[in-house]
Structure 1
């Protein structure tokens, strides 16, 4: 056999195997509805502890922010309003977002 005919046979076998694989693969495919449903149920199961952790983090951020604002206020800094708005926004975000996500998954 020549090099060219051996090469052609290998290419033909490889092409046939690829076509066979591509023809058989869709038969084993499954719908994604079950997987999405399972993922949504898993998120629902884990959401209550995550929500509690987020509220605890929000409380901690609020406490630390309150201490920083108090410190700046007693020292007479001029940018106390920016500090209050920044920590207030962070607190509102950390406390309100879990409620919106709960409503989304309910």
Structure 2
């Protein structure tokens, strides 16, 4: 039998094979969602602790920068101090709110 050159027939055969393969690999959607939820919850506590640590490092770096500006007698020390302090507070508040919101 000679091979056919009909492109529609080739596309139809390819789609049929693809659908058969996809149907064979189908899984329960609820099980997949529950597994993903469990994995995200397992990393959540570590992520919030990481945010607290980053806030601490930002606080230390900010304190050093503010101290240097203060000793140099620069006039924008208050503005720099408030921006660094605001960054630290933001990170801590976000981590705390996320932790309380998701109940982890």
Name the structure where helix makes up a greater proportion of residues.
1
1:75 aligns with 2:68: no
Q: How many residue pairs align between the two structures?
A: 102
Q: Cα distance 1:104–1:39, how it changes in 2: closer, same or farther (>3 A)? A: farther
Q: Which has the larger radius of gyration?
A: 1
Moved over 4 A (4+): none
TM-score by length of 1: 0.73
CA distance in 2, matches of 1:78, 1:64: 19
Q: Cα distance 1:39–1:23, how it changes in 2: closer, same or farther (>3 A)? A: closer
1:30 to 20, 27, 32: 27
CA distance in 1, matches of 2:99, 2:47: 11
RMSD of aligned residue pairs (Cα, Å)? 2.7
